Amino acid sequence: MGPLDDATIDECDHIVAAMGPEPFMAALEAGADIILGGRTTDTAAICCYALWKGAPLGPSWHAGKIGECGGQASIKEVDGRGILIRIDKDGFEVEALNDVNKCTPHSVSAHMLYENSDPFNLTEPGGILDTTDSRYEQIDPRITRVTGSVWKEMPYTMKLEGASAGQYQTVMLVGIQDPVVLNDLETFEANMTKHLYNRVRMTIGEAAGDFHISLRLYGWNAVSGEKVPEGTPAPREVGVLFVATADTQEMANQIAKACNPIFFHMYMPGHHGEMPSYGFAFSPADIPRGQLYEFRLNHVVECDDPSELVRTEWVDLSVEEAA
């Protein structure tokens, strides 16, 4: 995201750095029986044990990536979610634990795209996992073997994650089957949005502060927000989500209450002056959603020591139980 300024850091309520495997390995080496870890990369939390035992870097990191979501790296004929990974000096094997599920070259290799935009390179603390030359071989229906994975060491960095608190929201939801509305949803959305804003300005005025109202038409274009292509048939029904955003929860609630009559009863010209009613999902209709939080950081911090930003606390449960 470019340079990181002090203002962005100050706006974050909380900042963490995603750990690599080293703090886990240190805890294992020191004799920990149970490790409760803070924010870390999924891959590091899985591969730390293999690395601690001296397994090779490339296969260990790749195995950690494949194992992070368990059975998602398999083809599940039944609801069995486990996999078993065996790492050796040349590669690793992935086996579906349920005897009817399968681990195939496709199901295993495809997991490199889980939460990763590059199917061949995965950036982690201290290096990059390069699977460009990896080979996936079907050993039997349940087992796939992977070889050729390479770990490329890089300067040690940790991903920063920070969030800042923002405004507050209140939502309402109606379902609409009215054919007058469904046959002209674009006009309905535009008119409704205009009337809602006017309603707030007339009833609350400047006291509303910095507010925002949005409508999301589920069953039409709520997911993409894009204009629907010309000639798209009218849906059978839509769910319309009203979202009011304001500086306080009380004001977001007040805006929703002020908009309530229009949101449930706004008519279109095709209604010929008769006031329609739409089907609200809940009563009371307005639902406080609380404060909004926004991710503010997409940066890394360079570290001389993998554990310099990590705190480790030890608890002896035998002592705790005796107390």
CA angle (187, 189, 193) in 5-degree steps: 120
**CA 304 to mean position of chain CA atoms:** 30
User: Residue 275 phi/psi, 5° resolution?
Assistant: -80, 120
CA angle (153, 158, 164) in 5-degree steps: 160
pLDDT in tens, 254-290: 999 999 999 999 999 999 988 899 999 999 999 999 9
| pLDDT, position 78 | 78
Instruction: Tell me the whole-structure pTM to 2 decimals.
Output: 0.80
**Which DSSP state fits 245?**
E
In this structure, what token pair is assigned to residue 261? Answer: 């009559």
> Where do the domains of the chain lie, and which CATH numbers do they carry?
6-156+303-322 (no CATH), 166-294 (3.30.70.600)
- Integer Cα distance of 298 and 160 in angstroms: 7
Low-confidence stretches of the chain (pLDDT < 50) are none
* DSSP sequence for 281-322: SSSS--EEEEEEEEE---EEEE-SSTTTT-------HHHHHH
Give the H/E segment covering residue 48.
Answer: helix 42-52
| pLDDT, position 79 | 76
Closest CA to 144 of 175, 102, 173: 102
- Integer Cα distance of 56 and 129 in angstroms: 12
- Integer Cα distance of 25 and 47 in angstroms: 10
| pLDDT, position 19 | 96
| pLDDT, position 77 | 80
What distances in angstroms separate CA 258 from CA 192, 195, 202, 284, one per listed residue?
14, 11, 10, 13
Please, what sign has the CA dihedral across residues 316, 320, 321, 323?
positive
- Integer Cα distance of 293 and 149 in angstroms: 38
**For residues 248, 249, 255 and 256, what is the CA-based torsion angle, rounded to 10 degrees?**
160
| pLDDT, position 323 | 60
| pLDDT, position 144 | 98
* DSSP sequence for 123-141: EETTEEEE-TT-EEEEEET
Reading across the β-sheet that carries 143-147, which strands appear in turn? 83-87, 91-96, 143-147, 135-140
